[in-house]
Amino acid sequence: MILDIIEKIKKELRWDTRNRFIFQLKTKASLLDIGCGAGGVLKVFLQYRNDLQITGLDTQDFSKQVPEQVRFVRLNADSGRLPFDDNSFDAVTVIHLVEHIENVENLLKEIIRILKPSGRFYIETPDAKTLNYPKFEFLFKDKSGGPLNFYDDTTHLKPVSKDFMHNIMVKINAVEITKGHYRNLLYCLISPLLMILGVIMRKRRWFVVGFQHLSGWSVYWTGKKQSNDKNTE
């Protein structure tokens, strides 16, 4: 209930780096979300921008779970070449995927290839500092509701550092626009209360949300393909 109310307020205030990214896209922009899962983030995007032409890609078959206006493609993003032509999309989002794959550099190259000239991308992933975050096992016996320490999610392979991402962007000739910690101002303001209530009411999800926003658990980058970029091989 509390998180639902917060989401409604977020929709009006747009205090969110993801939402600011999609509001910057042109009308009827084509967007590819790599690692879309069941489409939770895409549902939020469409609440704000129902004009977007969205394609979702994931290694599992979520074709029946994603919003009906989303074109779904099943593919392992770590398998090599993405099944899209050069200069196909106005924007690409990759939210909490790069920590799950082996060849991050190849994925970034593919993103640049399939973006239109000056097309934009948004990448979000756990900060490398989450390797040292406490698990709070003395408060919660299970790990439902999301990770606190990086390896609470056993499918995480390795964190992507800021320097590593910067070096890849330079190598593939991408233009970095913004970077920082993914936070929502509203969540930050109420995070202490969420964490306290989470402990009292045994709601680990509330505690996780509060902790992640307060600590800057995730980092993000936005960037774009150079307008004269013809070859990123």
Span between the terminal Cα atoms of the chain, in Å = 49
Q: Please state, as a whole number, how many other Cβ atoms lie within 10 Å of the Cβ of residue 12.
A: 7
Question: Do the domain assignments include residue 232?
Answer: no
The total of structural domains in the chain comes to 1
Question: Do the domain assignments include residue 233?
Answer: no
Q: Count of alpha carbons within 13 Å of 76, Cβ hemisphere only?
A: 7
- pTM value? 0.89
Question: Do the domain assignments include residue 230?
Answer: no
Question: Do the domain assignments include residue 47?
Answer: yes
Question: Residue 79 maps to which CATH number?
Answer: 3.40.50.150
Question: Do the domain assignments include residue 136?
Answer: yes
Q: Which amino acid is at 215?
A: S
Question: Do the domain assignments include residue 231?
Answer: no
Question: Do the domain assignments include residue 53?
Answer: yes
What's the domain range around 195?
2-225
Rounded CA-CA distance 131/92 in Å is: 27
Tell me if residue 23 falls in helix, strand or coil: helix
Contacting residues for 22 by C-beta, under 8 A, at least 6 apart: 31, 45, 48, 49, 52, 91
> How confident is the prediction along the chain (233 residues), in pLDDT tens digits per residue?
666 666 666 555 556 889 889 999 999 999 999 999 999 999 999 988 999 999 999 999 999 999 999 999 999 998 889 999 999 999 999 999 999 999 999 999 999 999 999 999 999 999 999 999 999 999 998 889 999 999 999 999 999 988 888 889 988 889 999 999 998 877 888 999 999 999 999 999 999 999 999 999 999 999 999 886 444 44
Tokens, residue 227: 């307008």
